[in-house]
Each structure stands twice: as C-alpha cells, then as structure tokens.
C-alpha cells in the first residue's frame, strides 16, 4: 500500500526525497513551498495530491517538519485520526517542540527519525514517550555518492582559502516563537558582520 509523503521546508524535503528515491517508496505526494522543487529535481515531475485523500488511501505517512508551515502537522494529526501510522524526520537540531505544536495543541508522530547521534540524543530528551530511531541519513548518502563520483582533477586548486558561510534565519524563528526578531540580541546579518570582522583568524 502507498505512503503519503508530506513536506514543505527544503531541509526535510532533501532527506525525505532521497529516502523515497533510494527505497523506491510507492507514494502519494503532498508538497508545498520549497519541497516541490527539491522533489522534482530528484524524482522528475510530481503529481501533487490532496492531503485528506492521500492519507485516506495510504497505509502510513512519512513527512519532514516545518516551523513556517502547518502541512506536516496536519498530516500527522490526520493520520492519527484515521488510525494510520506516521513518521516524521527531524533534519535539524533546534526547535523540536515547535515543529509539533500549533495553537497550543501538540500532535506527535508514532515515530521520529533522525540522521545523527546528536539529533537522537536531543529528540529522546524532548520526546521521552515517542520512539526515536536513528537511520543512515539518506541525503548524506546521496552527497557522499556525488562527491565520490566527482573528478577532483577538474578543480584548479591554489593556496588560497575558500570559505562557505552558512547561517540560519534566526530572526524569523525568534519573531515566530517570541514575537521579537531580536529576542537573542542579534539577527543573522549581525552574525555575518561579526564573522567578517573576525575573518583574519584564518590567517589569510
């Protein structure tokens, strides 16, 4: 029987889409936001189903988690109402509770999947009564395969240092959770300015 696959945010979509492709999961797709392009990049054109119909016709739900969207929360809640099993993959290390709470209501899946030991320890503490399962991160598997196949000889290497700077939209998190973008005393732009003002620590 099919699985209802539900995603909105890009992070969860990267992991779940890799899992679906690697395991050839027979799926109905309920996708919104950035998840649509992520899935289409890996699986080709996607037929989007309605949430209620997909869950009704499926044996289980597999979803990411979002803090900007309610779609995964609604999928887990609907699965519980229809007595279908549900699994949510946590692709991050923060705001775990917020991903399963809407308007004061908490709805947890039957199982939570994580892709690393740090996430597992955080999830176990956050959800002591929910099954937390560590799986081999399918997105990381795809990245490793891609890097392995890449011909390093194509690169023109010199002695310069390259830096990739990655940050989180913490102002949005703070605004959503606490009503104040500056709740932590800084926003992501401040963090970038701090980094650039101290970049000499790399020595070049």
CATH number of domain containing 25: 3.40.50.2000
150 within domain boundaries: no
151 within domain boundaries: no
Nearest to 122 by CA among 134, 106, 110: 134
Q: Do 64 and 117 have their domain in common?
A: yes
Q: Do 35 and 130 have their domain in common?
A: yes
pLDDT for 151: 53
pTM for this predicted structure: 0.78
Q: Measured between alpha carbons, how far is 150 from 144 in angstroms, rounded to an integer?
A: 10
pLDDT for 43: 96
Q: Do 44 and 139 have their domain in common?
A: yes
Neighbouring residues of 144: CB distance < 8 A, sequence distance ≥ 6: none
Rg (CA), the chain: 19
Range of the domain at 121: 3-145
For residue 22, the tally of other CB atoms under 10 A from its CB is 14
Q: What sign does the dihedral 78-81-85-89 (CA atoms) show?
A: positive
What is the full per-residue pLDDT of the chain (204 aa) written as tens digits? Answer: 899 999 999 999 999 999 999 999 999 999 999 999 999 999 999 999 999 999 999 999 999 998 779 999 999 999 999 999 999 999 988 889 989 999 999 999 999 999 999 999 999 999 999 999 999 999 999 988 887 776 554 555 556 667 778 888 888 888 888 888 889 899 999 998 898 888 888 776
Q: Do 82 and 170 have their domain in common?
A: no
Q: Which tokens belong to 22?
A: 């690697």
Q: Do 141 and 176 have their domain in common?
A: no
Q: Measured between alpha carbons, how far is 9 from 172 in angstroms, rounded to an integer?
A: 14
152 within domain boundaries: no
Helices (H), the chain: 10-23, 35-43, 51-57, 71-81, 117-126, 138-149, 170-178, 188-197
């Amino acid at each position: 029987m099919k699985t209802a696959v539900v995603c909105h945010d890009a992070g969860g979509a990267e992991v779940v889409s890799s899992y679906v492709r690697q395991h050839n999961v027979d799926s109905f797709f309920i996708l919104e936001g950035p998840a649509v392009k992520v899935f289409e990049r890996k699986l080709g054109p996607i037929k989007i189903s309605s949430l209620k119909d997909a869950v009704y016709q499926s044996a289980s739900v597999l979803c990411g988690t979002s803090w900007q969207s309610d779609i995964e929360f609604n999928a887990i809640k609907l699965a519980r109402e229809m007595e279908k099993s549900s699994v949510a993959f946590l692709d991050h290390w923060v705001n775990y509770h917020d991903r399963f709470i809407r308007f004061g209501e908490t709805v947890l899946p039957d199982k939570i999947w994580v892709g690393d030991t740090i996430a597992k320890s955080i999830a176990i503490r956050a959800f002591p009564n929910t099954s937390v399962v560590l799986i081999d991160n399918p997105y990381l598997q795809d990245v490793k395969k891609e890097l392995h196949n890449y011909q390093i000889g194509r690169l023109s290497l010199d002695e310069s240092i390259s830096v990739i700077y990655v940050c989180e939209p913490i102002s949005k998190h703070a605004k959503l959770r606490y009503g104040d973008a500056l709740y932590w005393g800084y926003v992501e732009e401040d963090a970038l300015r701090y980094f650039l003002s101290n970049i000499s620590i790399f020595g070049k």
